[in-house]
Amino acid sequence: MRYAIVDIETTGGGPAHHRIVEVAIVLVEHGRIAEEFVSLCRPEMPIPPDVQWIHGITDSMVSGAPLFAELIPRMNALLENTVFVAHSVSFDYGFMQAEYRRAGFPFSLPKLCTVRLGRRLVPGLQSYSLARLCQAFSIRNEQAHRALSDARATAEIFLRFMENSGFGPLTQHFLSRKNKDRHLPAHLDSGSIQKLPATTGVYLFHDHNGKVLYVGKANSIRDRVLQHFSGHTHTREKTHFSDQVHHISFQESGHELMALLLENELIKKHFPRYNSTMKEFRMGGGIFMYEDRDGFLRLAAGEAGKWTRPLKVFRSQAEARLALLKFSLQHGLCLKMNQLLEKDVQTCLYETEAGIQCLLCCGNADSSAYNRHVKSSLEKWEEGRSLILEMPGRKVGETGRVYVENGKIRGFGFSERPESAASLEAILSDLQPYYDTRDSQTIIRPYLERAKEKTLLPEGIPVFSLT
């Protein structure tokens, strides 16, 4: 079998927006280096100074170099009937594929990654970077971060791998179309994927130092993790992300609500680089209060943003408007004042379930009386309920619980305590404190709306259940 060990240098991290500036191919055949090829490429775009500092290739060095497309005939002759091999192969292969497609040619070769091979054939190393593998095998890389020198070093490492008795079966497995591990990050031990459960919970991606890169929630942890690395997209962010993932940890939650609350808490705690949501609250809709020129207090649903101060926040303006409608009907507030009726509608005569009618449209209130009623209604709304929310736990015989006190989430956790022994004090002893935020309020609201009252604790706190 012929192996083409490839290394490239580029203008940046992702093939969608960057170009190759140098490419090297070292052919390995019959257990030895058979041929070498290297060329600079004119990228038709500037090389950023910070990238020039890494590989030392400047704009002037590539100004007279051939375009990548002009090198394709020569590279095709070398790459024909070979296995594409590179260190962190997704990066090099992704760039080569993008350059070929940009030139109007297909590019498809079986591929192997020397990082992944190294993890299996030389276990126990602290790192599987090119420099660390060179050190392990006493291989000199004369000019690191230049394509030919790195390709030669990778080829020497590959030849050492070939001497290992496990090389043949391992490469056969990696090259198999049935191998689901081929899209995984090079530094991630495929065995860690097998340990992931197909249950609801959260998962965390860590770098080589254990720092959290990303936190996610899933109904099936294993399936969701695999989705992150499936397909053939090679964006800059995805390439950088994949190259940094070294470890995965997880926490099962039993129920989706617990997973969402735990995800929210972990993102706030670790502030992962690749989590764009929940680092700061992104409000969609809100309910606001203002006094009009006639002295009446009005409520309105509208767009909530970073610098606004809504009374209540919601995921969308539509959800805010619906909540305001329910609140107004419940407390007999004027629908017209609260901008819930069309402008040509003169009155909002209605009667609530409690028999309350709109005070203004019935002519029973001036601005002072109406404003007192608005404020009194808002105080009841802001006060919120105290309750226990129960749901299935992580295993049989376990219950997940969330404690809400005056509308704020105060604790959550799991317990195997029998229901007959449940009291507020006993339940709270099983829970861990939870820091309530606007995000967590948004998360829990739809679950509260569909929960069913189950029982009442001795302290008078209602217990609601979720299935």
- Sign (positive/negative) of CA torsion 335, 337, 343, 349? positive
Residues 52 and 148 in one domain: yes
User: 3-class DSSP state for residue 321?
Assistant: helix
Q: What is the pLDDT of residue 395?
A: 92
Q: What is the pLDDT of residue 436?
A: 85
Of the candidates 270, 302, 318, which is a domain's last residue? 270
Residues 28 and 143 in one domain: yes
Six token digits for residue 214: 């990303």
Residues 39 and 172 in one domain: yes
User: 3-class DSSP state for residue 302?
Assistant: strand
Output the domain CATH number for residue 214.
3.40.1440.10
Q: What is the pLDDT of residue 255?
A: 95
pTM, entire model: 0.64
Residue 143 lies in a domain: yes
Residues 378 and 408 in one domain: no
Residues paired with residue 207 on neighbouring β-strands, in sequence order: none
Residue 280 lies in a domain: no
Residue 443 lies in a domain: yes
Would you call 206 a catalytic residue per the annotation? Answer: no
- For residue 394, the 8-state DSSP code is S
Residues 50 and 143 in one domain: yes
Residues 15 and 131 in one domain: yes
Q: What is the pLDDT of residue 350?
A: 67
Of the candidates 362, 383, 404, which is a domain's last residue? 383
How many domains, the chain?
4
157 in Cβ contact with 134 (< 8 Å): yes
Instruction: To the nearest 10°, report the CA torsion of 7, 13, 14, 19.
Output: -60
Residues 20 and 114 in one domain: yes
- Identify the domain containing residue 259 by its residue range: 190-270
The residue from 17, 87, 145, 228 that is catalytic is 145
Q: What is the pLDDT of residue 178?
A: 67
Residues 411 and 350 in one domain: no
Question: CB neighbours (10 Å) of residue 366?
Answer: 12
Residues 372 and 420 in one domain: no
Residues 437 and 392 in one domain: yes
pLDDT below 70 — which residues of the chain?
178-182, 231-237, 239-240, 277-283, 306-307, 343, 345-347, 349-357, 382-383, 419-421
Residues 173 and 200 in one domain: no
The residue among 15, 75, 72, 6 whose CA lies nearest residue 45 is 15
Q: What is the pLDDT of residue 231?
A: 56
